[in-house]
């Protein structure tokens, strides 16, 4: 029993080490990832300063959509019924699927895209491509919109067939994928686009990276536009909304940390 556990532990560690060694075959990306990793683990710890929220301060995703878009629940339910089943049914055979957005985040991005018919959406953190898929699906139904996604592959994402591999080719005509750290790509992209309708953060959830992405994207988001963030696990989101004098909403989802929304 003990020997077996040691054997499993050893093979897991070996697998992880091999994964990291393989990853360093692309020195430029590996360097960017390593710098962020150090920032996360040593300089600004990932979940430093827990926000003081509890279950009763979190609201349901449909109520949040109702409140921010002023759409009634009947209409929201109608759109939700069109949300493709295959986007929410989890298939455990797909590699790194567990990294994908929760049902709640996928539905929020789908329903809000359907409702406000955005021209431009920018997201950070593609992974397998669940949120990208939901947004692109809604844009294709709207016959309007373009999605710009940024992803910095990590040793874990290198395990996937490719970044955004869940997204069907038929939806990719409205999609640009930019590879690299959001800190490097986001400022140039936003200055080229000038105005965006929605910004979604789902990349590295460290305090410094979240705050950086919120602050960088904010001036490009149109009035009445949306800032949506996964994993409100530290004070970055709440500090940011207070500093800008904006109300924020925290939404319950099927994992430890909530989703945040600020309407500009």
Residues that bind ligand SAM (CB under 6 A): 36, 99-101, 124-131, 150-154, 157, 181-182, 202-204, 209
Closest approach, Cβ 38 to ligand SAM, in A, equals 13
Closest approach, Cβ 230 to ligand SAM, in A, equals 7
> Of 69 and 210, which has the nearer Cβ to ligand SAM?
210
> Of 126 and 221, which has the nearer Cβ to ligand SAM?
126
Closest approach, Cβ 152 to ligand SAM, in A, equals 4
Please list the residues that pair with 179 across neighbouring strands: 151
| Unique residue bearing structure tokens 């929020």 | 108
> Of 51 and 203, which has the nearer Cβ to ligand SAM?
203
> Of 113 and 203, which has the nearer Cβ to ligand SAM?
203
Closest approach, Cβ 191 to ligand SAM, in A, equals 18
> Of 184 and 243, which has the nearer Cβ to ligand SAM?
184
Structure tokens at 198: 């929605």
Cβ neighbours around 52 below 10 Å, total: 8
- Please tell me the distance from the alpha carbon of residue 115 to that of residue 129, in angstroms, as a whole number: 21
Closest approach, Cβ 130 to ligand SAM, in A, equals 3
CA 249 to chain centre: 16
> Of 127 and 260, which has the nearer Cβ to ligand SAM?
127
> Of 71 and 213, which has the nearer Cβ to ligand SAM?
213
Closest approach, Cβ 3 to ligand SAM, in A, equals 35
Closest approach, Cβ 108 to ligand SAM, in A, equals 11
- Please tell me the distance from the alpha carbon of residue 150 to that of residue 147, in angstroms, as a whole number: 10
């Amino acid at each position: 029993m003990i020997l077996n556990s040691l054997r499993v532990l050893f093979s897991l560690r070996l697998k992880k080490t091999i994964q990291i060694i393989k990853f360093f075959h692309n020195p430029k990306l590996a360097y960017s990832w390593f710098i962020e990793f150090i920032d996360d683990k040593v300089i600004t710890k990932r979940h430093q300063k827990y926000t003081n929220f509890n279950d009763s301060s979190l609201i349901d995703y449909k109520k949040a959509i109702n409140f921010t878009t002023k759409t009634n629940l009947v209409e929201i339910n109608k759109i939700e019924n069109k949300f493709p089943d295959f986007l929410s049914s989890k298939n455990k055979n797909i590699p790194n699927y567990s990294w994908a957005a929760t049902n709640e985040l996928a539905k929020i991005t789908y329903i809000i895209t359907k409702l406000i018919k955005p021209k431009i959406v920018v997201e950070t953190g593609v992974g397998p491509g669940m949120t990208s898929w939901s947004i692109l699906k809604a844009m294709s139904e709207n016959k309007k919109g373009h999605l710009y996604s940024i992803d910095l592959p990590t040793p874990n994402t290198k395990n996937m067939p490719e970044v955004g591999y869940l997204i069907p080719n038929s939806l990719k005509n409205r999609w640009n994928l930019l590879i690299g750290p959001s800190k490097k790509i986001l400022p140039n992209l936003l200055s080229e686009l000038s105005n965006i309708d929605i910004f979604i953060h789902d990349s590295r959830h460290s305090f410094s990276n979240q705050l950086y992405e919120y602050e960088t994207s904010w001036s490009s988001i149109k009035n009445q536009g949306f800032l949506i963030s996964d994993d409100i696990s530290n004070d970055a989101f709440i500090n940011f909304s207070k500093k800008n004098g904006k109300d924020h909403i925290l939404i319950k989802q099927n994992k430890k940390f909530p989703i945040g929304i600020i309407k500009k």
